[in-house]
């Protein structure tokens, strides 16, 4: 049957259905005036959003929206100020909050004031000339984007029951701050595990690190690390160190990059009540971060510490982390942690491997 042989009412109905399907496949914004904008959403920001219309791009401010506001035909990626992202569909805008949903998120509320600022230029402020000097360029930037204090807590673990009963739990916490030329990071973790009524994990670790950037790529750092591990018979390991770092690659995403570090550490450690050991050590580290499929963040953090007086007692550590956002503040994490010691104490294993899955909450 050809289209010409279909009755006029049927042809009209078919055309209406085609138009409706074409309209539904695009994003919509309802204005206070009642006008409906149909196009493709480009990006969302603290002040409003960009939408690509048939006649060209347009920026719409949140205060100009009516009900239901903004709706997308499918999932979009929304960037948050701390570099995280959430992938979901925008259903509507309520009280300056994006109401988003996906297969993993029943409903998430993202405040518009938590979104990144719009790239639209702001009107220049009037600055009086107090001495003949030109005012500082408001767009001048340092090596880093300034970020306020933020942090995270996470609970991870693994369970096994049946022929072998085992459990492993780990609590992680972190605190971060970033200025235009400096970056601060502090972390703490504690692990506890048992296998067939035998203690297999009981340790605690705390680290702090400060980076100072001289330009976009070169920085120096200082760090302090304290560790206690009953299973390794490690009463205390105190590490203080300084060094230099080089950012050899930086991706489009705020979290993507490749850093190489080298420096000198001072190690003070004591095993199972024995006399303390102390001395200098060299340290080399690599930190790699990249996005996978736009929704997953892969982080690989590797380091090797070699004591100057006893190179055979080297320590290598690798942590591979794969995480994805479940909502604006909740992340799903998978962590593979591997440590190898070249001169492990008697009755302890040189190789230690942990595989963990859990949830992280960011604040």
Query: Is residue 46, in this structure, part of any structural domain at all?
Result: yes
User: Please, are residues 258 and 287 in contact by the beta-carbon 8 Å criterion?
Assistant: yes
Q: What is the mean pLDDT of the chain?
A: 84
User: Please, are residues 325 and 314 in contact by the beta-carbon 8 Å criterion?
Assistant: no
- The residues, ordered by sequence, that sit 6+ positions from 180 with a Cβ below 8 Å of its Cβ are 141, 142, 143, 144, 145, 146
Co-location of 209 and 70 in the same domain: no
Co-location of 33 and 178 in the same domain: no
pTM of the shown model:
0.64
Co-location of 214 and 318 in the same domain: yes
DSSP 55-74: TEEEEEEGGGEEEEEEE-SS
Co-location of 171 and 268 in the same domain: yes
Q: How many angstroms separate the CA atoms of 18 and 16, rounded? A: 5
Co-location of 93 and 185 in the same domain: no
At 78, the pLDDT band (50, 70, 90 cuts) reads confident
Co-location of 78 and 224 in the same domain: no
Residue 184: phi and psi, rounded to 5, are: -120, 140
Structure tokens at 160: 């096994």
Structure tokens at 250: 């930086």
Q: How many angstroms separate the CA atoms of 112 and 94, rounded? A: 10
Asked if pLDDT for residue 191 goes beyond 80, the answer is: yes
Asked if pLDDT for residue 104 goes beyond 90, the answer is: no
Q: How many angstroms separate the CA atoms of 57 and 39, rounded? A: 9
80 versus 23: the higher-pLDDT residue is 80
At 275, the pLDDT band (50, 70, 90 cuts) reads confident
Co-location of 199 and 99 in the same domain: no
Query: Is residue 130, in this structure, part of any structural domain at all?
Result: no
CB atoms closer than 10 angstroms to residue 149: 10
| pLDDT tens digits along 226-244 | 999 998 889 999 999 999 9
Number of structural domains (the chain) is 2
User: Please, are residues 105 and 326 in contact by the beta-carbon 8 Å criterion?
Assistant: yes
Q: How many angstroms separate the CA atoms of 334 and 58, rounded? A: 40
191 versus 108: the higher-pLDDT residue is 191
Q: How many angstroms separate the CA atoms of 1 and 40, rounded? A: 36
Give the SS3 label for residue 18. helix
Co-location of 213 and 313 in the same domain: yes
| pLDDT tens digits along 149-178 | 999 999 999 988 877 788 999 999 999 999
Query: Is residue 229, in this structure, part of any structural domain at all?
Result: yes
Give the SS3 label for residue 240. strand
Query: Is residue 223, in this structure, part of any structural domain at all?
Result: yes
- The residues, ordered by sequence, that sit 6+ positions from 76 with a Cβ below 8 Å of its Cβ are 41, 44, 87, 88, 89, 90
Co-location of 284 and 200 in the same domain: yes
Co-location of 95 and 156 in the same domain: no
Query: Is residue 133, in this structure, part of any structural domain at all?
Result: no
Structure tokens at 184: 């601060």
Of 114, 136, 170, the residue at which a domain comes to its end is 114
Range(s) of the domain holding residue 306: 147-362
CB atoms closer than 10 angstroms to residue 98: 26
Query: Is residue 281, in this structure, part of any structural domain at all?
Result: yes
Give me the mean pLDDT over the 77-106 stretch: 81
Q: How many angstroms separate the CA atoms of 37 and 54, rounded? A: 10
Of 89, 114, 139, the residue at which a domain comes to its end is 114
Asked if pLDDT for residue 125 goes beyond 70, the answer is: no
Give the SS3 label for residue 78. strand
CB atoms closer than 10 angstroms to residue 223: 20
User: Please, are residues 76 and 41 in contact by the beta-carbon 8 Å criterion?
Assistant: yes
Co-location of 84 and 151 in the same domain: no
């Amino acid at each position: 049957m050809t289209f010409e042989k279909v009755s006029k009412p049927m042809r009209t109905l078919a055309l209406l259905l085609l138009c409706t399907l074409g309209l539904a496949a695009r994003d919509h914004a309802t204005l206070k005036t009642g006008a409906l904008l149909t196009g493709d959403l480009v990006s969302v920001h603290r002040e409003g959003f960009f939408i690509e219309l048939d006649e060209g791009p347009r920026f719409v401010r949140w205060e100009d929206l009516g009900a239901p506001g903004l709706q997308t035909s499918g999932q979009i990626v929304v960037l948050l100020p701390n570099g995280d992202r959430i992938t979901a569909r925008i259903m509507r805008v309520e009280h300056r909050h994006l109401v988003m949903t996906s297969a993993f998120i029943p409903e998430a509320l993202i405040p518009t004031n938590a979104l990144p600022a719009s790239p639209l230029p702001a009107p220049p402020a009037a600055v009086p000339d107090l001495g003949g000097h030109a005012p500082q360029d408001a767009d001048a930037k340092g090596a880093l984007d300034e970020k306020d204090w933020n942090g995270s807590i996470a609970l991870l673990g693994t369970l096994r029951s049946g022929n072998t009963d085992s459990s492993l739990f780990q609590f992680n916490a972190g605190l971060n701050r970033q200025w235009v030329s400096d970056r601060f990071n502090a972390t703490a973790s504690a692990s506890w595990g048992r296998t067939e009524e035998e203690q297999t994990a009981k340790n605690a670790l705390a680290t702090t690190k400060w980076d100072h950037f001289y330009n976009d790529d070169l920085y120096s750092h200082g760090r302090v690390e304290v560790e206690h591990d009953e299973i390794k018979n490690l009463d205390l390991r105190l590490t203080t160190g300084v060094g230099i770092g080089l950012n050899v690659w930086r991706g489009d995403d705020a979290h993507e990059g490749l850093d190489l570090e080298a420096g000198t550490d001072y190690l003070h450690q004591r095993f199972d009540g024995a006399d303390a050991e102390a001395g200098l050590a060299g340290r080399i580290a690599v930190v790699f971060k990249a996005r996978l499929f736009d929704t997953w963040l892969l982080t690989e953090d590797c380091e090797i510490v070699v004591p100057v007086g006893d190179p055979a007692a080297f320590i290598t550590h690798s942590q591979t982390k794969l995480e994805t956002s479940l909502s604006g503040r909740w992340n799903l994490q998978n962590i593979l942690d591997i440590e190898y010691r070249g001169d492990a104490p008697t009755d302890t294993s040189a190789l230690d491997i942990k595989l963990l899955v859990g949830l992280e909450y960011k604040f």
